[in-house]
Amino acid sequence: MNIKIKKNLLSYKGYKLKCAVGKSGIKKIKKEGDLSTPNGIFKIGFLYYRKDRIYDLLINIKYNSSPIIKKKGSAIFLHLTNKKYGYTQGCVAISKNSFLKILPHINNKTKVVIC
């Protein structure tokens, strides 16, 4: 089953969770630095945990990764947000509680659908 992101809602395995996306919204044509979240279907990468960082949990969303095309943007993640759900620079952000709810259901076949 895929993680679906539409506007400020993330749906997965019966959960409907509030999320934040890029300040410029979701765009089909993304450029480096445009503050938009890319539209499309993406594989996921590794889960990262750093207890010494602001984003202590994050999953890489494989956007513009194989092959890498210059100026299309990069480093798109599913990461944690603050309580205000402020805009991101192009990533998708959810609360830590939401992240921990869906994490046990995510595997290497899970894809992220952003529309």
Domain boundaries, the chain: 3-114
What is the Cα–Cα distance from 80 to 72, expressed in whole angstroms? 23
Q: Which amino acid is at 108?
A: N
Q: Which amino acid is at 24?
A: S
Which helix (H) or strand (E) element contains residue 97? helix 96-102
Could you check whether the bond before residue 104 is cis, i.e. omega within 30 degrees of 0? no
What pTM was computed for the model? 0.94
| 3-114 CATH | 2.40.440.10
What average pLDDT does range 7-34 have in this prediction?
97
CA triple 91-81-90, angle to 5 deg:
15
Q: What is the pLDDT of residues 51-108, one digit of tens each?
A: 887 878 999 999 999 899 999 999 999 999 988 999 999 999 999 999 999 999 999 9
Q: Is 103 helix (H, G, I), strand (E, B) or coil?
A: helix
